[in-house]
Amino acid sequence: MPATIDDTYAEAFRSIYASVLITARDRVWLDHAVRAATGNASSTILCDCEAGLDRYVPGSETPDGRPGAIVQFHVPRFHKDREARLERVVLVRVSQNVMTCPTTAAFNVLDASGSWHASAEPKPGGKWLAMGRKVSYFGDGHQFTAERHGRRVWVVPILSGEFVCERRCGFADGLMGGNLWFFGATPDAALEAATLAAAAASEVPGVILPFPGGVASSGSKAGSKYKFSIASTFAEFCPTLKGKEGVASRLPDGVTSVQEIIINGADLPTIVKATQAAIAASRDVPDLLTISAGNYGGRLGKSFVYLHPEKQPA
């Protein structure tokens, strides 16, 4: 019997995000670069951003004809210094995690059409970060500008040869915080459902799932009893706290484990599409009781992702 789908919504909030196309000689070194560049970026509770793999790109569609992968870096829009934060995220992760990875290059993604090409006009609403120029200072004066693969790039001499990095990186408005919760009668059921859901959602171009393997096992709520913490465990949904004095459990009967996926992306329709793909892929897992989502009644964000598609405004 399929799991019950709660009549609720996930509450997404606004971000600004940058996308970078990483290329490499082969998939082995491409994957090393992607993992490094998106590491320690699961949650902005303590990480500098939320990052992840958007999609792989065949060599026939990349500027230098090599295998590629698009990664996204998101920073919450509510930060007053959000643009400076995002610029530092891109600078640090491209310079320290992409340039250091053998055979790689880095190119801009966001332009007027939402793809990449030589003319590289900003995506509507987007702006530019000086990605290549700032990374190039590693060249210690030996760096130079050039046109490579129809792109205006900085070329940095490095021990293995050259690192090619596009001069500018576009950024635009995005969304963070789309989510689904999987209530299992067994821990295995909750994890299998979340794993299948994450895999299905990740197939939708334009989204990332920033947590390890796309799954978050320690979903949080905003706020804490401790003044120094901005988030804490969602006690009302912790199975081991059900029945504990002072905890008003909100878990359905029979639930022994809850897993979550988080979906960030370019816009609301893209996250809605990924959410529905995730539900369809997971709802028939044996011993999965309920699929739900977390929200704060609109206090965190104003973009609602309804689990029942007919409720989603056009």
What are 274's two structure tokens? Answer: 């990924």
Angle at 157 between CA 154 and CA 158, to 5 degrees: 125
Percent of the chain with pLDDT over 70: 95
* Structural domain boundaries in the chain: 4-11+175-311, 15-172
In this chain, the answer to whether the domains covering 4-11+175-311 and 15-172 adopt an identical fold is yes
In the chain, DSSP assigns E strands to 4-5, 9-23, 50-57, 68-76, 105-108, 127-129, 144-148, 151-158, 161-166, 169-184, 207-208, 220-222, 231-233, 257-265, 288-292, 303-306
CATH topology of domain 15-172: Alpha-Beta Plaits (3.30.70)
At 289-298, the pLDDT tens digits run 999 999 887 7
pLDDT class of 116 with cuts at 50, 70, 90 = very low
CATH architecture of 4-11+175-311: 2-Layer Sandwich (3.30)
Q: What is the reported pLDDT for 126?
A: 57
- pTM summary value: 0.93
